Structure 1
Amino acid sequence: MLIPKTASWVVRKIIASRELVLQGQVADGTLQTILKSALIGNGFAIRKMYLTLLPQHPKVEWKSLSLQASIHPRYKFILWLALHQRLATVDRLMKLGIQVPPDCAFCGLYRETFAHLFFECAITRQMWYRLCVWMGYRRNIADWNTEVKWACKLAKKRAGLAEISSCAFAMIVDAIWREWNKLRFQNSSLLAAKVLKDIVIQLNIRGQANRRWYDALQGLNAYP
């Protein structure tokens, strides 16, 4: 059914929903069956019908990390872009026709891609490794997907150190991207120790108002 161009927004949505119901009828049974699924007693539940019409998608593995309440929104935005691999790294800029030097802004040894930046590059890998050691994790830093899975496991826990660790992951991703912009467009120089120190200071400031964090931070060194 064609939607009239002169119809109001509400009418257009109602007609579009009708099409969704009819499409769902083929996959899920008769229209009567679909409508019955939205009944509660003798009443019709709009919420249940709405949920029935929602398309079903597989859950992303990084859901726990992106929804981690302890991560400040300022870091969540860059983390969200990184999880979707939508940061404007050199390989993406070139696809858009923007010409930039192809070498990594940090090490200058290899062609820059998202995978190289997180964490194949020796410099960014070392930064994340030092932060992990500071938190008490002596582990080899792997590729981006492996590190995300590791951070996601911690994001599901409520222990103080686990929350600090998932938050630190988001902060190091944001810090790497922020320093990348400085190196690429402002001809700045990287001061890795200062970057890590700033992250630790921010974590300790937030820990003053969180008892679980405060207790966990007492057992860590001053700086990485």
Structure 2
Amino acid sequence: MDWWAYAVQQNCSWYWKKIVEIKDLFRAKLDKSAFMAVQYSIQSGYDILYDQHIKVQWSKFVWERCSIPKHRYILWLVLHRKLRTKEHLSKYFHAMDTVCLLCGDHKEDITHLFFQCTYSKICFVKMKEWIGCQAQTEHYQALLQWISKAKHLSKLRKGFFIAAVT
């Protein structure tokens, strides 16, 4: 039996179906001879399946070992624009009130919640003063880029700032 041409049977376990599905992903990227020519490792398999790895500036801040795991997760959600703000949830619950709970003035979205809300703006300004940040930005990615390039900041202060804004 040729494994490369094998088709999964309906009565197989879900686990076996997943293995065959991964084999089919490899088959879509490479022909049999090209696959056999590769010295296989987990890394080479990953490189075949997932073309280019896009390096993002903010990854080292999100996965900073000194930060609290809950903060890491929230920051990751913010940077992927997946944080469940009222504005985001209103897409699913149409009758939902989208006004910010902190200030009661504006629609609660990520930009407002972290940069424009009067309450969070006060906290943010105090933190920027403490670390000496002159960056005037309303986007997390630009802020994280500024922090990564700031030579005058110690790792500890960078870590505190990231923890404070998440």
TM-score range, shorter chain: 0.7 to 0.9
Distance 1:169-1:14 versus aligned 2 partners, 3 A rule? closer
Q: What CA distance in whole angstroms lies between the structure 1 residues aligned with 2:98 and 2:14?
A: 47
> What are the equivalent positions in structure 2 for 1:53-132 lying under 5 Å apart?
53-56=48-51, 57-97=53-93, 99-132=95-128
Pairs aligned (count): 159
Shift in Å, 1:143: 0.8
Q: Which residue of the other structure, out of 26, 36, 55, is the alignment partner of 1:21?
A: 26
Q: Percent identity at matched positions?
A: 22
Any idea what SS the aligned residue of 2:154 has? helix
CA-CA distance at 1:48 after TM superposition: 4.7
Contact 1:119 1:141 in 2 (8 A): no
Structure 1 residues 17 and 147: alpha-carbon distance in aligned structure 2, compared to 1, 3 A threshold: same
SS at match of 2:90: helix
Matched, 1:37 2:38: yes
Counterpart residue number, 1:150: 146
Aligned to 2:102, the other structure's residue is in SS state coil
Counterparts of 1:138 and 1:114, CA distance in 2: 21
Taking structure 1 as reference, are residues 49 and 161 closer, same or farther at Cα in structure 2, changes over 3 Å only?
closer
Runs of 4+ with deviation above 6 angstroms: none
> For 2:97, what is the secondary structure of its paired residue?
coil
Question: Distance between the aligned counterparts of 1:161 and 1:19, measured in 2?
Answer: 48
TM-score of the two chains, using structure 2 as the length reference: 0.76
Cα deviations by residue, 1:160-219 (Å, 9 ceiling, x for unpaired): 72333234223332xxxxxxxxxxxxxxxxxxxxxxxxxxxxxxxxxxxxxxxxxxxxxx
What is the CA–CA distance in structure 2 between the aligned matches of 1:85 and 1:108, rounded to whole Å?
22
Alpha-carbon spacing, 1:140–1:107, altered in 2? closer, same or farther (3 Å): farther
Unaligned segments of structure 1, at least 5 residues: 39-44, 174-224
Check whether the contact 1:35–1:49 (CA below 8 A) recurs between aligned residues.
no
Distance 1:21 1:97 in 2: 40
The 1:82–1:172 alpha-carbon spacing in structure 2 relative to 1, beyond 3 Å, is same
Q: Distance in 2 between matches of 1:82 and 1:139?
A: 22
Q: Contact conserved, 1:125 with 1:141, CA < 8 A, in 2?
A: no
TM-score w.r.t. the length of structure 1 is 0.59
1:71-113 CA deviation, whole Å, 9 max, x = no partner?
A: 1213212222222222221211211116443332223332222
Distance 2:92 2:100 in 1: 18
Decide whether aligned partners of structure 1 residues 149 and 11 sit closer, same or farther in structure 2, where only a CA change above 3 A counts: same
Q: Aligned with 2:98: secondary structure?
A: coil
Partner of 2:9: 4
Task: Quote the Cα distance in structure 1 between the aligned partners of 2:112 and 2:124.
Answer: 14
| Contact 1:93/1:99, CA 8 A, preserved across alignment | no
The 3 A distance-change label for structure 1 pair 77 and 17 is closer
